[in-house]
């Protein structure tokens, strides 16, 4: 996928790099994922299956596992998605940290199998 590197995605990339540097210093990446999972459970789980196995309920949005494994899903793409308005998904006002954590969590599902189609 080619993404035009706009000012916004540059800022995003800087944020991701900063997060990466934090990760090499310890378990920051794991912490961020865990925080992302906690946030996802609170904010996204009404509409999305957020883990490897579906939590009980009915979901209007695609499972995070499926989203994570779409080739088009990258950190910057998720950033853009979460900062824009959507017809069928409400705008969620996450702050920068929360957004990064949720994105870390979703990306951590890449390559994981589970969830029947
Ligand atoms: C009220 C229901 C609802 C909530 C809450 C919700 N979503 Fe969604 N989400 C949707 C729907 C519906 C779609 C499909 C949108 C579409 O196809 O236009 C979607 C799509 C998405 C996609 C894009 C998938 C793609 O096709 O590219 C991502 C990423 C996503 N949601 C992330 C989140 C995250 C992260 C949260 C929590 C912070 C969240 N959503 C909370 C309903 C919701």
The pLDDT tens digits along the chain (117 residues) read: 544 545 545 555 444 444 444 444 457 778 899 999 999 999 999 999 999 888 888 999 999 999 999 999 999 999 999 988 777 887 888 899 999 999 999 999 998 876 654
Tokens 């900062």 belong to 83
Residues 86 and 107: their CA atoms lie apart, in Å, by 21
Residue 34 lies in a domain: yes
Residue 84 lies in a domain: yes
Residue 58 lies in a domain: yes
Task: Check pocket membership of 62 for ligand 1, CB cut-off 6 A.
Answer: yes
Tokens of 49: 């299956």
- Tell me what pLDDT residue 106 has: 97
Residue 114 lies in a domain: no
Pocket test for ligand 1, best of 40, 62, 110 (most atoms within 8 A of CB): 62
- Tell me what pLDDT residue 85 has: 78
**Burial of residue 37, with CB atoms counted within 10 A of its CB: 0-12 exposed, 13-18 middle, 19 or more buried:** buried
Residue 116 lies in a domain: no
Tokens of 70: 């779409």
Residue 1 lies in a domain: no
Residues 43 and 29: their CA atoms lie apart, in Å, by 20
Residue 2 lies in a domain: no
Task: Check pocket membership of 115 for ligand 1, CB cut-off 6 A.
Answer: no
* Domain that residue 81 falls in: 7-108
Residue 115 lies in a domain: no
Write the CATH number for 54.
1.10.760
């Amino acid at each position: 996928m080619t993404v035009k590197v706009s000012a916004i995605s540059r800022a995003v990339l800087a944020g991701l790099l900063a997060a990466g540097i934090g990760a090499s210093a310890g378990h920051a990446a794991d912490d961020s994922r865990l925080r992302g999972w906690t946030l996802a459970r609170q904010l996204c789980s009404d509409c999305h299956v957020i883990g490897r196995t579906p939590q009980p309920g009915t979901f209007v949005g695609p499972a995070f596992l499926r989203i994570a494994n779409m080739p088009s899903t990258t950190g910057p793409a998720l950033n853009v998605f979460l900062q824009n308005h959507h017809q069928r998904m409400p705008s969620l006002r996450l702050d920068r940290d929360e957004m990064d954590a949720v994105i870390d969590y979703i990306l951590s599902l890449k390559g994981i199998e589970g969830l029947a189609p």
